[in-house]
Amino acid sequence: MALSSRPFGFGVVGALALILSACASELIEPASVSIDPATISPHDTDKLLVVDCVLPGRVRKLGQSLTYLEPRRPTKTSALDCEIRGGDYVAYDRADYRTALNVWLEGAEAGDPEAQTYVGEIYEKGFGVEPNYVLALEWYYKAADQGYSRAQINLGYLYEKGLGVEQDLTEALNWYRKSSGLTEDIDFASSIDLGSQDKELEKLREDVTRLQHEADDARTKLSDAQSKLSGVQKDKQALEKELQRLQRLKTIFDEDPSSPEISNLDREQVERQLQDRQLELNERSDEADVLVQQTEDYRGELDELESAQQEAKIGPRIELIEPALTVAATRGTPAVRLRSPAEQTEIVGRVSAPAGLLTFNVNDQFEEVDQSGSFRVWVPVGNKETPVSLVAIDNKGRRTVIDFVITPPQLASAPAEPTPESTPIFPETGDIDFGSYHALVIGNDDYTRLPRLQTASKDARMVEATLREKYNFQTTLLLNADRHSILSALYQLGERMTEQDNLLIYYAGHGDLDRINDRGYWLPVNAEPGNAANWISNISITDLINTMTARHIMVIADSCYSGAMSRSAVPRVDVNMPPELREKWLRLMTKNKSRTVLTSGGLQPVLDEGGGTNSVFAQAFLTALRENDQIIEGYSVFRQISQTVTEKAAQLGIEQVPEYAPIKHAGHETGQFFFVPAA
């Protein structure tokens, strides 16, 4: 059994062309050119990544005599595109929020909702300083009040997590609802994924700061010890070569005293040098042994501190999987609408607590969870609204609470006949245009400096064939790809994307995760352990996705992917809706942008094998696609494979729980990615 720790389209513009006009005001735009990524040197790969760029002002001509220059314009685009268009940017300055603010603040203060949202995200991210959620809220409100969907999503997230504001699940769902554009006759249905409140985490801020300082000290000690060890090892290599030379000379003295090679040498001097060098080598060997032990101790100390810091940052988390909570346009309380009269209903979900789960209660009753944190609880219901409270408390005393009500059918605002499980959710799709589908499928297993994987390439081939043959995807398959090949392929695909396109990115291969900075990486085949120069950051992928014009983008990673936001922002179809409303819901979801990610696991290593000739995750994903014969959204795919992967991994002694969520700060607007069978 093996384990693996298993953007984009930029129109590139050329020189400014002056177009003269004899009449009305005319905008003089740069002329478009096309850049072939194959012509870009691997040394310039970073120029394909996204930067905050300030473009020169556009030239306008009014009549025959007046020409004037507009103010400079901010944009997010590739460094290459920014250079060609004559823009200014600071290369990859992710540590200084002031750099990004300088790009967007002027437009934000002028009332541009996109710029206001970017300013809010800069404050929320922190960019090397403590996040300022209060200022983030202020800018999000400015953009949200103008109906800007992305800002409304971000507001919902801050309310849901209690960041910079009192945690309020109802307010969060209402903002998600506003972003979705659902009409008053359609309730907003969602799963819930709730963590500890920010006000409770505030109590642990001092512990987090202390642990950060201790981790920094341990990291410095480890770096110093590694540097000293490298120097000592070089000294040892030099001494070993010198010893070999002196030993050879001594042998010549013993076997051929008349050799010209030793004619000018003194035997006793050679022997003394040999003894001295041997003593030096012994001292260096002892010093190296001490430094090796020190590096191991420091690395172990650093791992413990990073783990402790992670526990201090994250409290318990409750994920409510079934049933979906709904928020009506005229109703403020999250509710579960029963499909038919019943004496009890089942609540299904999962609890996680990095610091260890002390207790989990449902309506003040203790409930058991399995080793993966999953729970199934039957709650009695009557003929009136039944309140339900889910409470998780970890070993540090932090708690997470989800409160909602269960509404019987006769009290539901829009009762409908139950939909049998065998009935397609979308039996009629009318003339809905789902757009064109594209996929980039990457499978890496033949690593040069990392352990070889067994199934990644095979998984990629089978996923590519299934998408192409059954779902009419136009596919690009990359096997054993290096960093330049992956980023070039993404750039080329992104350049072709339009608002009518859908893009799926599938990655199978090694991954890594920086828990302190919540930054995940995909590792191309030329990646080196401990050296991130050839790694691909999830942040870079997110930034690239953010610039794409594609309608729906879904990342499927048989590896880690940090930076995903709450699943609560993903609308789910309510099976109680009548067919005409389901079609209406479908039209809205296909219209709104979506940026989602489905991963094979969370922060733990995931199985490279266990699914026959495939990984456990790939086998479940392929099965879900191959056995499907109707329109299915990304969340339903996740629901189908999640339990299968979790149970199969548990049988093999591994905790592996797939995750699905919108990608934070990538432009998600509560749409859905749909798989539409060709038949």
Q: Which CATH architecture has domain 436-675?
A: 3-Layer(aba) Sandwich (3.40)
252 or 619, higher pLDDT? 619
Q: Which two tokens stand for residue 300?
A: 């172990």
- pLDDT, position 655: 72
At 609 the pLDDT is: 55
Q: What percentage of the chain carries pLDDT values higher than 90?
A: 23
Q: Could you tell me which residue, 280 or 215, shows the higher pLDDT?
A: 280
| pLDDT confidence of residue 252 | 84
* CATH number at 92-180: 1.25.40.10
Q: Which of 66-75, 416-425, 437-446, 482-491 has the lowest mean pLDDT?
A: 416-425
Distances (CA, A) of 483 to 45, 79, 399, 532, 605: 8, 17, 42, 11, 22
Beta strand 12-16 pairing with 30-33? antiparallel
Position 382 pLDDT exceeds 80: no
Residue ranges, comma separated, of all CATH 2.60.40.10 domains in the chain are 317-411
Averaged pLDDT for residues 578-605: 80
Task: Read off the pLDDT of each residue in 247-255 and give the average, rounded to a whole number.
Answer: 84
pLDDT at 144: 94
Residue 301: phi and psi, rounded to 5, are: -65, -40
Among the listed ranges 146-155, 304-313, 593-602, which one has the minimum average pLDDT value? 304-313
* 304-308: long-range contacts, CB 8 A cutoff, minimum separation 24: 305/211, 305/214, 305/215, 305/218, 306/215, 306/515, 306/516, 307/515, 308/211
Would you say residue 310 has pLDDT above 90?
no
**Better-predicted residue by pLDDT, 265 or 462:** 462
At 212 the pLDDT is: 63
If you classify domain 317-411 with CATH, what class do you get? mainly beta
Of 596, 590, 603, 607, whose CA–CA distance to 660 is shortest? 596
> Please, which residues bridge with residue 54 across strands?
74, 88
pLDDT digit string (tens) for 179-237?
Answer: 888 777 677 777 777 665 544 444 455 555 566 666 667 777 777 777 788 888 888 88
Q: Please give the mean pLDDT across all residues of the chain.
A: 78
Tell me which of 264 and 379 has the higher pLDDT.
Answer: 379
Question: What are the residue ranges of CATH 1.10.287 in the chain?
Answer: 205-313
Res 284: pLDDT: 84
DSSP annotation of 646 reads H
174, 332 contact by CB (below 8 A): yes
pLDDT of residue 410: 58
Q: What is the mean pLDDT of residues 125-151?
A: 87
Least confident of 144-148, 452-456, 579-583: 579-583
Lowest pLDDT segment from 270-274, 322-326, 372-376: 322-326
> Are 380 and 343 within 8 A, CB to CB?
yes
Provide mean pLDDT across the span 631-657. Answer: 83
Residues of the chain with CATH 1.25.40.10: 92-180
Q: What is the mean pLDDT of residues 430-443?
A: 90
Interval 591-597 mean pLDDT: 90
Give the model's pLDDT for residue 13.
28
Q: What does the pLDDT read at residue 60?
A: 67
Reply yes or no on whether the pLDDT at 10 is more than 50.
no
Please report, as a single letter, which amino acid is at residue 319.
E
Residue 7: pLDDT band (50, 70, 90) is: very low
Q: For 504-551, write each residue's pLDDT tens digit.
A: 999 999 888 765 556 788 999 998 887 778 899 888 898 899 989 999
Q: What is the pLDDT of residue 676?
A: 92
Residue that wins the pLDDT comparison between 76 and 26 = 76
Is residue 608 pLDDT above 70, yes or no?
no
Mean pLDDT of 379-390: 86
Select from 3, 29, 32, 7 the least CA-distant residue to 18: 29
**Residue 306: per-residue pLDDT:** 63
The pLDDT tens digits for 162-174 are: 888 888 888 888 8
Least confident of 229-243, 312-326, 345-359: 312-326
Q: Are strands 436-443 and 474-479 parallel, antiparallel or unpaired?
A: parallel
Q: What is the pLDDT of residue 471?
A: 95
Half-sphere exposure of 161 (CA within 13 A, CB side): 19
Q: Is the pLDDT of residue 618 over 80?
A: yes
| 140 pLDDT above the threshold of 90 | yes
Residue 662: name the closest of 599, 591, 570, 593 by CA: 570
Residue range 483-504: mean pLDDT, rounded: 91
* In the predicted structure, residue 21 carries a pLDDT above the cut 50: no
Q: What proportion of the chain, given as a percentage, has pLDDT over 70? A: 77
Which CATH code is given to the segment(s) 205-313? 1.10.287
pLDDT digits (tens, 9 = 90+) for 74-93: 888 888 788 777 777 765 44
Measured distance CA(461)–CA(677) in Å, rounded: 19
- At 209 the pLDDT is 57
Which of 192-201, 250-259, 431-440, 557-566 holds the top average pLDDT?
431-440
Decide if pLDDT at 20 tops 60: no
pLDDT at position 481: 93
pLDDT the model gives residue 612: 64
pLDDT at 147: 92
3-state secondary structure of 223: helix
Residue 142 pLDDT greater than 90, yes or no: yes
CA–CA separation, 528 and 550 (whole Å): 33
